[in-house]
Amino acid sequence: MNSLVTVVLACLLVFCAQGQPANRSSRCKCVTFIGNFKPKLIKTEPVIYEPSVFCPNTEIIVTIENKEKCVDPQSPLGKLILKNKHRQMKKRAKTTTTASAQTDTWRSTA
């Protein structure tokens, strides 16, 4: 009977561990922010994490000199990065909507 209880508990532990998100820790990634730097030093596109149940803050992570650094979302650079992200999202949505409308028009005339 003891071995059965042990097996059931082990299975529950495995299933619970698999349900945890693998890509985000249970804490915010950004604790400190970098100061002023030239935006030209950014090597890759910034990664933006929106607020979630794991972290209530918007986090912006950039790669500078092969190191990941956090940018304060309230700083001028942080605001610029967020503004560009929202602009790209609107552009993608508009392109998708236009493509859908063109497809529907094509179908109705054919």
Ordered by start, the domain boundaries in the chain are 31-96
Instruction: State the Cα–Cα distance between residues 101 and 107, nearest whole angstrom.
Output: 10
Is 31-96 a CATH 2.40.50.40 domain?
yes
Report whether 63 contacts 43 (CB < 8 A): yes
Query: Between residues 34 and 70, which one has the greater pLDDT?
Result: 70
Mean pLDDT score, 64-78: 90
Digit-coded pLDDT (tens) for 26-64: 589 988 888 777 878 888 889 999 999 989 999 999 998
CA angle 42, 48, 50 (to 5 degrees): 160
Q: How does residue 93 score in pLDDT terms, banded at 50, 70 and 90?
A: confident
> What's the chain's average pLDDT?
75
CA atoms within 13 A on the CB side of 13: 6
